[in-house]
Structure 1
Amino acid sequence: MLARLFFVFTIGALSVVSAQKKPITHDDYDLWKRVADTKISDEGKLVVSTIELLTGRGDGHVQIYNTETGNTAIFDRGYETAISADENYVVFKRKPAYETIRKEKKDDVKKDKQSKDALFIYDVKNNRLHDSIPRVKAYQLPEKYEGWLVMEKHKELKEEKGKKDSTETKTDSISTQKKDTTKQKVNPAFKQDYALVYRFETKSKDTIHQIKEFTVPKNGNSFIYALKQEKEKEWDLGVYTYDVANGLRTPIDTTKYSYSNLAVDEKGNQFAYMSSADSTAVDSLKFELNYLNENKLTVLVDSAASRIQKGWVLGKDKAPFFSESGKRLYFGVKPEVSYDRDTTMLDDEIPQVDVWNWQDKLLQPEQKVREKELKEKAFLMYYDTSNESYVTIQGELLKEVAVDARKEEKFILGNTNDAYALERSWAFPWKWDIYVIDSYTGDQKLLLEGVTYNPEVLPNNAFAIYFDMDAQDWFSIDLSTTEKRNLTAGLAVAFHDEDDDHPSLPYPYGFGGFDEDGNPLVYDKFDIWKLTADNSKAPINITKNGRLENIEYRLLNLDPEEENLASYLDGRLLITSFDKTTKESGLYTLRKGKLIEKLRPSGYLISNYNKAKEADVFTFTRQNFQVFPDILVTTDGFESNKKITDLNPHEKDFKWGTVEQFQWTAYDGTPLDGLLYKPEDFDPSKKYPMITYFYEKRSDTYNRHVSPSPSRSTVNAAYLVSNDYIMFVPDIVYKDGQPGESAFNCIVSGVEAVEKLGYIDSANMAIQGQSWGGYQVAYLVTKTNKFKAAMAGAPVSNMTSAYGGIRWGSGRSRAVQYERTQTRIGKDLWEGLDLYLENSPLFGIPNIETPLLMMHNDEDGAVPYYQGIEMFMGMRRLQKPAWLLVYNKEAHNLTQIKNRQDLSIRMMQFFDHFLKGAPAPKWMNQGLPRIAKEKDLGYDLGED
């Protein structure tokens, strides 16, 4: 076997380690922070970042950076940020201190009496806190209009009543007359949640008591809100508009039982809402759609649904919304279906049964997972506000329609998979029929049958572009005539994934977007190609050298609302690069067919780009294994940049490590790539224990930073190298029908190649993987005794029993995964029974000599929980050393920090014992009886 090292050291890889540096422990995880969110103001003056702890066990902060002055303001515990349109204010919520909430929970304080968030408002001009308001539940401010916001506040506690904020001015004092002649009066005693209308300049606050719901416009000065009674299931008080300029509240309607789904157009001139009249049976409410414009209230859809299709009703769960111009008001309708329960029967007399039918288009478990979605499903119509007409654009046939609310295009696309619904359980890629809809008339026409890649409509609204996975070419289709054109026929490059190793048709490398002329841009493995929808010009490779230099070029789209990708930096395309050899990335612009370097590829992964909408101000991050991805900002088109965060300076105090690329040749002659992580004080004359982790292909992550954090399911590279382990991460390529042997071919050959480097303690090696990686761990220990210990998270152990099961997270059949996707068997169970048996670890348990630790959680929706149990029970029966960790109410990967911490401790105690000779903990030696659960964690180290 050929083995060689590819040396591309990250910055500081050869630094001398000082004696003061310490190894990372499980007690150190709470030190690490991350950037949770970054926003840039429209004109680029402000960069607002939300910082949080990786573990959540502590307090984060909001950082506000002024690109003009260089000032930085930091507010502890801030989150949920917004920037006013004039860039004069930054608004954010502030959490109570972590330790405060922890103590309140420990003291069993009721939730409504626990400390609540506050709203903070920062004054940009004066670089100081402008205002703070306690007990704020939520807030909204116009995205493009300045001067005000609306916040919803928690109801006041008893001891706070009467202590009214002296800055609050007007309050509601509206009384309304209902059909039962009972007067309902707004109670000013703050017994319910209420709203404040806040004006930035004066700090004045108008109070709206008993708030139910409100929504503000994107670029206007009026909003709509609804009020409710103190007790649930009683009459709502009404729906109103509020004119912020003069503080005027105008009742729209106060006579109905319920109001919901409020909508306002972009400028705050048109309003819509749904209402229902009085009803004694809440579950059978009949809803109406109401529209207000220029003080004229119109019932667009009444409770009898007289203006829509017969037998249909208003979709009460789909909120109406306006198009950007306000010319269309979209809303949902659905067939009226009622299921009358037999009220003569008691609950314990009604059978609880799921009836599965072999012709069901959706399996019963999928219907269960999607029950809310299916129950609330509605089909799209719109009301034309200019000519007062109604158009149905979806109808019951189509599952989805692609409506762009920014414009009123003539042609839109919809799809349905009814004809292919059954075969979704075993066939892949999934197929769809595509329809073109005339949005002016609602007419529908079949456009494409059995496509597996959704088309993209061009900006000219005349053509759509799609990838034909049978032909493996890009096509355009004329939306008026349905004429198709092959746009890439005859080109000498492939536009499908050349390296795909699944037993199904490969997907394309992708669609990039449109240039300034509306031409579609698509990818091959390396380069970007410009096509013309009418095929009037030959395709052009606009990046030219990607394939020649092993560089992957991709377009950078920083504004989802902008179709023209050449809308940045004087109308140039922004293009990222990823060098497939060095794994470093850069940024370019394209000018007159030439790539102009903006960020030089230099040993980093550069990503997480953001941009101001109206200015060429960008933020981005730059990282490698040793450099944390702090935020950098540029205000001069990437001519220079400045680092504006320094989140984890303590990393320098810990022993870290280096990463190297490693190449070798598999047993079958396939050249492979991998990664080797080493301690930073690595001594080639020493022997190190090694843990091999794997999942598909990971070598492209060479320049990714790894922060120490409690494990969701896998080992942590930073922790391992800090504690004198070497970590090996091999890429894996697969052959159809041989997932297990393919893993052996790649992983074990790679491990042997690394062993030949001379510094691996071959007597103390382990493997670890999760899910698909967990399966391969379980398989490998049946084929080799090379490893002293192994840890498998959520492994499939018996493909014959797993094949016919359900992925409970989605409710779908698992068969498609085994036949066509990740498992790669390529045949059904009956045609390929020998392959299912050969690749199942369960049947190789008699060969296992490696101690195996497994994690498989009792609410795993991806891999059936019983797969881990089958493996454990087989090893237990044959008296093979095995441990199974089952975290309660956890799914495929751990989410609760307490459980992640626990797994990290147990997994490393397991590896430390077998690879470093550390004493075994109590939970490994003696187990933990059920009666000791949550009392004795069994971490104590004992004697073997």
Structure 2
Amino acid sequence: MKNTISLLLFYLALTNSTINLLAQQKAYEVTEETAWSNFYLLDISDDKNWVYYNNSIHFVGNRASIKKMDSDKVFDFEKGHTGKFSNNSKWFSIMSNNNTLNWVNLKTYRQDSLQNVKTAWFTTNANFLIVHDSNNDFNAINLNTGDKTIRGKSSLYSIRPIQDGVAIVLNSEKGSTLKILDLNNNKWREVLNLPKGQIKRIVWNKNGDKLAFLYREEKGESFNLGVFDYDSNSIQYLIEEKSSTKKKPIEIENTEISMNDDGSRVFFRVENTNKHLESSVEVWDTADPIMYSRKKFNYEDKDTPWLNVWLLDSGKVIPIETKENSKAIWSPNTEYAIIYNPEDYEPQFNFRPFADLYTLNLTNGSKQKIIDKQYTHGNYLKIAPKGNYLAYFRDNNWWVYDIKLDQHTNVTEGIAVRFDDEFLTSYSFPAPYGLSAWSNNEKNVYINDAYDIWKISIDGSQKQKLTNGRKDKLRYSIVDLPGIQKVESNEHLMRIPVLKEGNELILGAQSRQNYSSGFYKLKPNGTLNKIAFKDKKLSRLYSLNTNGFVFQEESLNVPPSVTYINSKNKQEKTIVKSNKGWEDFKWPDKKLIQYSTHFADDLKGILIYPVNYNPKKKYPMIVHVYEDYSVFYHTFLPPVLKNEVGFNYLNYALEDYFVLLPDIVYQKSKTGASATTCVLSAIDKVLETEKSVDADKLGLIGHSFGGYETAFIITQTDRFKAAVAGNGIFNLYSNYFEYQKLKGIPEYLRIEKGQLRMKDAFFENKEAYLENSPLHHFDHVNTPLLIWAGKEDDNIDHKQSVQGYLALRRLQKPAVMYLYENDGHVILDKANQFHLTNQIKNWFDAHLKQKHTDD
């Protein structure tokens, strides 16, 4: 009897295991209720105990969460956003979409909430939570006692950078009053009272001992500036007569103001007397430096009020931006600004202007020309952290200009590698791989080539290659760790890391062969120690201590997770795992393919297998085109039925399709032919290695530039049985003579120097435009084409799609077009997304699987 029971238990256990295994083998069925999510690691607390992350569930909403790293304690916030930890790591606050503020005590786990909140911030010492509500009441919540006090009606406030203080503008029947509240002592200090006036802007300096404010005595009067000195309890006002502008008083604009760290300078903006004036008549003059459509979109900030600086010690005002030089690159704590006139060489037919650069001394206003005709994109110019040097990319090299010595040095001269991106074909002039960091003493710059990082002295005398990635095609980069010092600049692309000399560097690395990735520590002695390196995409690295790190990892068919690793003993722990239940289903496999053409070697593509792949069966294959797709080999994409472009490659693999995502490289002026050659070469490679792909059942799809490629490719080959082109360019001739509604950019710029890569103007090479225009070859099309577009597309006019449809209709070729009201370049309306996704699926099913629906 005992043996019988044992056998029965064994049988039940075996049966249960078999059932579980079968359940795991079941492929997932995508439905409208599918709730897989994208995942983003957003922050960690300063004490390194908590992680903050977000799950974005398609068309359900997002769920923000915080989790304690050493336990299972989790707080979830439905539709939460703008979460932040307090400076002392004791508190976390987050807003929700219904304007509810939630906050949590991370020590006791107590939760509180407040409704009808506009904004909320912790004070610097984190003993109070400042709340501005929908009634414009200013609330101070004592986090230690839980007491909430309404301090009055407020229009704006600014947290003092030190202690538990806040500057507040209170509004009442008696006017506007600027006060400073010491919350610990519950003491007010009145700064300024204006019975009839307005206080519009307030800002502290970094040290917290100066407060600048923009105000006017009465409504309708001109604005003025004041600075309150907290220690002396006194105010200094900007007196216009002391301004360096002699002709007439400066007209201060109601725009953002800022200060340098010690509070000796106030930056503000004045009236732009050269701005574009709107009129009922549009004047398009070919003699104008800037085309009318670009003027409307404030090209190069031409209509932005001009920047000035007020020097409190001398009382002087130095104009930084003027009619002569209306654009500035500046930092509040440096001695110099870089200024230029974006119209110097207009019309010049580039995305960003070439211009002559000048230095401007912010103390005395002196100006000196330093560079002729320099490209002004932020990737080509890098100001040093203290403002004593300007690095710039020119003639395929990086140069450093010493402002005080007035000396230019080619710092990459003599290095036998290229620092311009040799594979980038969408510009007519060289683009750099990048200058990624400065040393904190301004003695060195860190520059990237295609694979490695170079540390080069600013005088070019010392050149050290820090990595050796070229040999194994491993691309290294400096990790921009959260909290690391950055160059202060008004130009976002110039805010690069400032590295302390003698400290170890944290590097990212990615294989260009299989896109595995990871992180390394580079010791001062040159030793490279691995933190983590996997056959996945690793990103969002946070340093906890000398050996402890947290990062996000994922792959195309593996949902993101947050991992902790000890880089010394290599022990790992999963902190957060997204998409619960994913492992219960069977998911498609993938692999990288490699192929070449007569003009490009070592191309790659992603081949995604049918989820129920059987090498003895034949399957249809969809080819999805754009440019480089292989870089997404380890990027997770959740399968959902509602898609912004109507296509999700995992959906198709789950329905027993192969999906191919090929890389495409281009020869200039041969864009369409290049795409055709690369795509057909990729297909040939797949057919050579995967006999289960049915060569007679191939589909092609692309959106935007991929829509253009799709429309062109089907004019060159009949290998595809169905195709889909979304929001694409069909008629290169007509598109060339349009302008983009989104930014007013003339389309000839995008066609010559953007993705279309035509290089020459239409009038210089009409034959090339004819060769690359899909519509002009539509008489050769034999592939049924589904066309779709959003009628409000401000990137590519939907009439391009209409032209494609009309051409096929006149030729009596099989085609259908869907135009979506109130949608643009991508489809955002949920119903439209569902419709488009289903119509594309039905289209391919009908032509590649002979499955027809009533719709």
What TM-score does the superposition give when structure 2 sets the normalisation length?
Answer: 0.89
CA contact (8 A) 1:300 1:307 kept: no
1:890 aligns with 2:827: no
CA deviation vs aligned residue, 1:891-918 (integer Å, no higher than 9, x gap): 2222344433332222212222222222
CA contact (8 A) 1:24 1:654 kept: no
Runs of at least 4 residues off by over 6 Å: 304-307, 337-341, 635-638
1:32 aligns with 2:36: yes
**Structure 1 residues 246-255 or 806-815, which shifts more?**
246-255
Partner of 1:463: 389
Rounded Cα–Cα distance in structure 2 between residues aligned with 1:395 and 1:618: 48
CA deviation vs aligned residue, 1:474-503 (integer Å, no higher than 9, x gap): 212221233222222222211111222346
User: Secondary structure of the residue that 1:420 maps to in structure 2?
Assistant: coil
Rounded Cα–Cα distance in structure 1 between residues aligned with 2:131 and 2:484: 28
1:298 aligns with 2:236: yes
Alignment of 1:339-358 (within 5 A): 352-358=280-286
Identity of aligned residues (%): 22
Rounded Cα–Cα distance in structure 2 between residues aligned with 1:218 and 1:746: 56
Partner of 1:151: 131
User: Secondary structure of the residue that 1:576 maps to in structure 2?
Assistant: strand
1:447 aligns with 2:428: no
Partner of 1:571: 503
Structure 1 residues 245, 636: CA separation in 2 closer, same or farther (over 3 Å shift)? farther
Partner of 2:107: 125
Q: Please, which of 195, 200, 204 is the counterpart of residue 147 of structure 2?
A: 204
Partner of 1:334: 271
CA deviation vs aligned residue, 1:448-481 (integer Å, no higher than 9, x gap): 111225332334644322211xx21121222123
- Shift of residue 769 of structure 1? 0.6
**Structure 1 residues 769-778 or 324-333, which shifts more?**
324-333
Rounded Cα–Cα distance in structure 2 between residues aligned with 1:238 and 1:592: 54
Rounded Cα–Cα distance in structure 2 between residues aligned with 1:886 and 1:660: 36
- Shift of residue 79 of structure 1? 2.6
Alignment of 1:154-169 (within 5 A): 154-155=134-135
User: Secondary structure of the residue that 2:271 maps to in structure 1?
Assistant: strand
Amino acid at match of 2:539: S
Alignment of 1:696-735 (within 5 A): 696-709=627-640, 710-713=642-645, 715-735=647-667
Partner of 2:17: none
1:837 aligns with 2:770: yes
Structure 1 residues 837, 72: CA separation in 2 closer, same or farther (over 3 Å shift)? same
Rounded Cα–Cα distance in structure 2 between residues aligned with 1:556 and 1:596: 14
- Shift of residue 36 of structure 1? 4.4
Q: Please, which of 295, 317, 325 is the counterpart of residue 254 of structure 2?
A: 317
User: Secondary structure of the residue that 1:535 maps to in structure 2?
Assistant: coil
Question: Number of residues paired by the alignment?
Answer: 818
Alignment of 1:778-857 (within 5 A): 778-857=711-790
Structure 1 residues 651, 358: CA separation in 2 closer, same or farther (over 3 Å shift)? same
Alignment of 1:66-465 (within 5 A): 66=69, 71-95=73-97, 116-129=98-111, 131-142=112-123, 144-155=124-135, 193-228=136-171, 236-251=175-190, 252-279=192-219, 285-293=221-229, 294-301=232-239, 308=245, 310-311=247-248, 313-335=250-272, 352-370=280-298, 375=303, 377-405=304-332, 408-423=333-348, 426-427=349-350, 430-452=353-375, 454-459=380-385, 461-465=387-391
Rounded Cα–Cα distance in structure 1 between residues aligned with 2:314 and 2:101: 43
CA contact (8 A) 1:755 1:762 kept: yes
Amino acid at match of 1:501: T
Structure 1 residues 886, 287: CA separation in 2 closer, same or farther (over 3 Å shift)? same
1:530 aligns with 2:533: no
Unaligned runs of 5+ in 2: 1-19, 488-495
Structure 1 residues 382, 460: CA separation in 2 closer, same or farther (over 3 Å shift)? closer
User: Secondary structure of the residue that 1:125 maps to in structure 2?
Assistant: coil
Q: Please, which of 614, 629, 640 is the counterpart of residue 683 of structure 1?
A: 614
**Structure 1 residues 388-397 or 194-203, which shifts more?**
388-397
CA contact (8 A) 1:691 1:727 kept: yes
- Shift of residue 64 of structure 1? 3.3
Structure 1 residues 647, 411: CA separation in 2 closer, same or farther (over 3 Å shift)? same
Rounded Cα–Cα distance in structure 2 between residues aligned with 1:17 and 1:353: 71
Rounded Cα–Cα distance in structure 2 between residues aligned with 1:560 and 1:397: 37
Q: Please, which of 911, 915, 924 is the counterpart of residue 848 of structure 2?
A: 915
CA deviation vs aligned residue, 1:402-440 (integer Å, no higher than 9, x gap): 3334xx2223323332212311xx346742322222222
Rounded Cα–Cα distance in structure 2 between residues aligned with 1:222 and 1:80: 22
Rounded Cα–Cα distance in structure 2 between residues aligned with 1:795 and 1:312: 52
Rounded Cα–Cα distance in structure 1 between residues aligned with 2:83 and 2:60: 21
Give RMSD over aligned pairs: 3.0
Rounded Cα–Cα distance in structure 1 between residues aligned with 2:604 and 2:207: 55
CA contact (8 A) 1:655 1:722 kept: no
Rounded Cα–Cα distance in structure 2 between residues aligned with 1:682 and 1:16: 18
CA contact (8 A) 1:684 1:758 kept: yes
**Structure 1 residues 237-246 or 797-806, which shifts more?**
237-246
Rounded Cα–Cα distance in structure 2 between residues aligned with 1:808 and 1:565: 35
CA contact (8 A) 1:789 1:850 kept: yes
Partner of 2:9: none
CA deviation vs aligned residue, 1:183-238 (integer Å, no higher than 9, x gap): xxxxxxxxxx31201121122222133322222223343322224469xxxx9543
Amino acid at match of 1:151: V
Structure 1 residues 402, 381: CA separation in 2 closer, same or farther (over 3 Å shift)? same
CA contact (8 A) 2:80 2:95 kept: yes
CA contact (8 A) 1:456 1:466 kept: yes
- Shift of residue 821 of structure 1? 2.6
Partner of 2:63: 60
Amino acid at match of 1:456: K
- Shift of residue 790 of structure 1? 0.5
Rounded Cα–Cα distance in structure 2 between residues aligned with 1:556 and 1:90: 26
User: Secondary structure of the residue that 1:610 maps to in structure 2?
Assistant: strand
Structure 1 residues 312, 672: CA separation in 2 closer, same or farther (over 3 Å shift)? farther
Q: Please, which of 45, 48, 61 is the counterpart of residue 49 of structure 2?
A: 45
- Shift of residue 332 of structure 1? 1.4
Rounded Cα–Cα distance in structure 2 between residues aligned with 1:528 and 1:53: 35
Amino acid at match of 1:243: D
Amino acid at match of 2:64: H
Rounded Cα–Cα distance in structure 2 between residues aligned with 1:76 and 1:250: 40
Rounded Cα–Cα distance in structure 2 between residues aligned with 1:301 and 1:149: 37
Q: Which has the higher contact order (CA 8 A, sep 6+)?
A: 1
Partner of 1:508: 432
Amino acid at match of 2:648: N
User: Secondary structure of the residue that 1:748 maps to in structure 2?
Assistant: helix
CA contact (8 A) 1:311 1:336 kept: no
CA contact (8 A) 2:24 2:583 kept: no
User: Secondary structure of the residue that 1:449 maps to in structure 2?
Assistant: strand
Partner of 2:28: 23
CA deviation vs aligned residue, 1:157-205 (integer Å, no higher than 9, x gap): xxxxxxxxxxxxxxxxxxxxxxxxxxxxxxxxxxxx3120112112222
Structure 1 residues 604, 778: CA separation in 2 closer, same or farther (over 3 Å shift)? same
Partner of 1:180: none
Amino acid at match of 1:520: V
Structure 1 residues 653, 48: CA separation in 2 closer, same or farther (over 3 Å shift)? same
CA contact (8 A) 2:421 2:430 kept: yes
- Shift of residue 306 of structure 1? 6.2
User: Secondary structure of the residue that 2:653 maps to in structure 1?
Assistant: helix
User: Secondary structure of the residue that 1:879 maps to in structure 2?
Assistant: coil
Structure 1 residues 44, 566: CA separation in 2 closer, same or farther (over 3 Å shift)? farther
Rounded Cα–Cα distance in structure 2 between residues aligned with 1:691 and 1:194: 57
CA deviation vs aligned residue, 1:568-609 (integer Å, no higher than 9, x gap): 999201111111112101211112443433334331111122
CA contact (8 A) 1:585 1:602 kept: yes
1:582 aligns with 2:514: yes
Partner of 2:796: 863
Amino acid at match of 2:269: G
